[in-house]
Chain A
Amino acid sequence: MDKHQYDPHTMSNDDVLTTRLDSLVNFFREKGVNWARRNSLWPLPFATACCGIELMATGASRYDVARFGAEVMRFSPRQSDLLICAGRVAIKMMPVLQRIYLQMAEPKWVISMGACASTGGVFDTYAVVQGVDQFLPVDIYVPGCPPRPETLIEGIMAIQRIVDRDGITPSSRRGKGLRLVAEPMYQIDTPPSSKTGAA
């Protein structure tokens, strides 16, 4: 009898069950979560210029980004995990965009769509950010002025490949949570019982 085979006398049923569940959970963590993430990207359309029109065309029936699971445009950063920055961003708008990015739930990805969002485009002036990647971590740059919907879809598919390949571990596990901390407005006195308990 092969020693690697299942031996009911040395291994309890609980162990077997635990091992199988663990492998299942691990498989789901490594493959399944990313599979679910990549097929349900919920974009936040930060559309400030003509790129936004192409973004709408991408979402509409002809190009139908629903085929890639990214049709649920969410205007709340809390509900989205893909920031599509479509169009030029004025410098006065940059803190708003940064706040939106900070408010998005982990894991999150950023597409810089079009020439203006990526480099400032023709708007090389005092008022326009010369590429949002100066202030934000950008994953994918979609070229074009504006990009055709096929190009944007290719960008979304590139995000899907990124998700598939490495994904992003949640920030809590990296030890770096969201730094938006609500300070208590009043002093909290520690109850005496917990003080003694801690000591």
Chain B
Amino acid sequence: MATPEQILAAVNTRFPTLRLELKPLLTRGDVPGDQMYIRVKPADLLDVLRFLRDDGRTRFEQLIDLTCVDYLNFPGASDRYGVIYSLLSLTHNHRIWIKCFVNDPRPTLPTATAIWPGAEWMERELYDMFGIVFEGHPDLRRILTWDGFEAHPLRKDYPLRGKGERENYPVLNRDDA
């Protein structure tokens, strides 16, 4: 089991030019939590992820979760979408989070399906809910909402009650059926 500092050191020896840093995933009050994330630029994302999976010191075999936060109107935020990769190493029993920020008008990331095949549906969900396009994805369709749906409902500027998408089906009555 490696501490987040040791994991970061392993990444930084392989990618010294990136000057990556550890940050706490969340702080409660003024107390930082012990779950740490590494912020990576989209251009470097795939290299870092592949290194984290393949290197003997890190060995993150499993992509636990792939999710996103919309930082619209968030105090102090400079980017809009924070895509978060939760990684787990079954060999070493340690975890790390990778965070990658993308922006409008076309938030784009390279797909991680070549590294973890399980990323396929998670990336489809992010595309569905946040409109983040994963380039190179084998089958980037909506996964939760229906096919004719056009919005991305988990964005902060999407109204909770929708924009009237619910009124497109035929109405059955007793004489029809």
Contact = CB atoms under 8 A, between A and B. Distances in A.
Interface in A169-193: 171, 174, 176, 178-179
Contact of B177 (A91, A102, A134): A102
A150 B158 CA distance: 41
Contact of A124 (B153, B160, B169): B160
Interface string A120-150: 0000111101100011110000000000000
Interface string B149-172: 001010000111111011001111
A155 to B, nearest CB: 18
Q: Is the interface of B mostly helix, strand, loop or mixed?
A: loop
A179 B175 CA distance: 10
Interface in B115-162: 144-146, 151, 153, 158-162
Range class of the B interface residue count: 20 to 34
A129 B176 contact: no
Q: Is the interface of A mostly helix, strand, loop or mixed?
A: loop
A95 interface: yes
Interface of B: 144-146, 151, 153, 158-163, 165-166, 169-177
B172 A126 contact: no
A102 B174 CA distance: 10
A4 interface: no
B166 A98 contact: no
Interface string A85-100: 0000001101100100
Interface of A: 91-92, 94-95, 98, 101-102, 108, 124-127, 129-130, 134-137, 168, 171, 174, 176, 178-179
B167 to A, nearest CB: 8
B153 A127 contact: yes
Contact of A137 (B159, B163, B174): B174
